[in-house]
Amino acid sequence: MTTVLVSRASSDITLADALDVGRNRPSNKACPACTSNGLHGTMDIVSKNRDVPYLFVVSTDSVHIIPSLELSISHMRGVAKLRLCGLIYGDGSHFVSRVVDGSGTVWFHDGIATGTRCKRELTLTLLSDCTWLKRAGERMLLYSIYKRLY
């Protein structure tokens, strides 16, 4: 599966919405940063789904995406459901991560601060606002990792 998210600037949109907006066609979603600078721009999203891998990693270093707890992705053989299982953050010199277990509990790990242990944060539900997952302290979200449920 190849998914390309293209935007001239950052915008707040959930990953589920971004993948849903414009399958194989340009999106009519306005680029908020372009609009705020007096420019007219839209985001283009192109998807070609033959199959959905068991592990799906989304790089968000050029487009600021709010992770979604679950994704549903249509493909040639039906619909695959994916669940968020990990997030990687960085600032160029140090990386930290969050792990989301099967119950939706979010665990934070920073090798320097927490050593070999993870710190329990919150438990997510399908109705949770996941905006806070865009950052870990001063570090920006770089990768959202999803596992296929079926």
Residue 92: the pLDDT is: 82
Which residue ranges in the chain fall short of pLDDT 50? 1-4, 6-9, 21-22, 24
Chain centroid to CA 136 = 14
Per domain, the residue ranges of the chain are: 2-148
Neighbour order of strands in the sheet with 25-30: 2-6, 42-48, 25-30
Residue 16: the pLDDT is: 73
Residue 9: the pLDDT is: 41
Collapsing DSSP to helix, strand or coil, 114 comes out as: coil
Residue 73: the pLDDT is: 81
In this prediction the pTM is: 0.72
Burial (CB < 10 A; 0-12, 13-18, 19+), residue 67, is: buried
Residue 8: the pLDDT is: 40
